[in-house]
Amino acid sequence: MSLKLSYPEKTNLYLTNLNNKSKIEVLIPDGVLKCDESNEDFYINVIQFNTFHSFYHVIEGYNNNFNIIIDNSQNITCSIPTGNINAYTIREYINNHSILKNHIYVIYDKLKNIFEFQKISNNSLQLQIINSHVLLGFSKSENLLDIPCISSKPINVMAITNIFLHLEPGYDLNINDGNLDNHKGEIAKSNSIILSLPVDQNYNNMIVYKNEDGGNSWFFKCNKQETVTSLSVSIRDQYYKLIPDFPDSHLVLQFSKKLKNDKYGSILEKMLDYITKISLIISYYFVGNETL
């Protein structure tokens, strides 16, 4: 006799980040999400995610900080204005800074989309980048530069290009399937990403993922195979950083069950099927002879 899945075969979780803007943390009553560990496996599928593209791309403490060091002693702390800005905003901020305007003049090359940091004083000047590499046009490895200097790559004021949903460690739910990324460096490392979305909508439009075709692109085997009582989904950027002040979002996760692949059980089922078919053939033979 074939095994059957325990009830319910599927459970949908409708989640929101209203209580914590960068994370969706959920406690689930014991026994609501459970499966028969001996015969079943738990799987998770992302059915839907949506949010407004209303978040700022320049955020205080996230990607707008740098310092100017004068004569290896005086440290001028700088913060690019928060909001959705352009290259001219950055240029004017530095050129009009109460202290920096006496030491530095920034030119924006519109054709190349880069900055040129010119020195206009006799002091020794250094640019120390804290987290604003993308806005100033430097790679993540360029942290301390002597001025004068020029951006090594085009600047990008649309700093958040991708949204990644991660399952956070320390909770019941994680995934067994293999995911790899190089978000933290050159060496690919495992992760628990369950969804990736490009920020490809205009400002104030909806960013939406719908599993309309019922595909399995974001379908994963869970590591917890008995009961799930807690989970946490974090909202991060393409550099694995939590996105602060993220707008209201909605996420639909579907938990489903599958019977374990039991090779011995499968062989037994096939043997029973063969025996049944042979019994039918033999029965038909004797019944056929009796009618003659």
Work out the average pLDDT over 82-94: 96
- Both 168 and 237 in one domain: the answer is yes
Between the ranges 20-29, 115-124, 162-171, where is the mean pLDDT highest? 115-124
What is the per-residue DSSP string for 131-199?
A: S-HHHHT--TT--EEESSEE-SS---S----EEEEEEPTTSS--B-S--EE-TTSSS-EE--EEEEEE-
In angstroms, the CA 216 to CA 219 distance is: 5
Domain assignment present for 212: yes
pLDDT score of 37 more than 60 = yes
- Both 122 and 146 in one domain: the answer is yes
Domain assignment present for 4: no
Work out the average pLDDT over 242-248: 93
pLDDT score of 97 more than 90 = yes
- Both 88 and 223 in one domain: the answer is no
- Both 113 and 196 in one domain: the answer is no
pLDDT digits (tens, 9 = 90+) for 135-153: 999 999 999 999 999 999 9
- Both 31 and 105 in one domain: the answer is no
pLDDT score of 181 more than 70 = yes
pLDDT score of 1 more than 70 = no
Looking at the DSSP bridge assignments, the partners of residue 253 are 13, 46
pLDDT digits (tens, 9 = 90+) for 116-131: 999 999 999 999 999 9
**What is the domain range of residue 279?**
261-292
Work out the average pLDDT over 59-78: 96
pTM of the model: 0.79
Domain assignment present for 179: yes
**Number of domains within the chain:** 3
Domain assignment present for 3: no
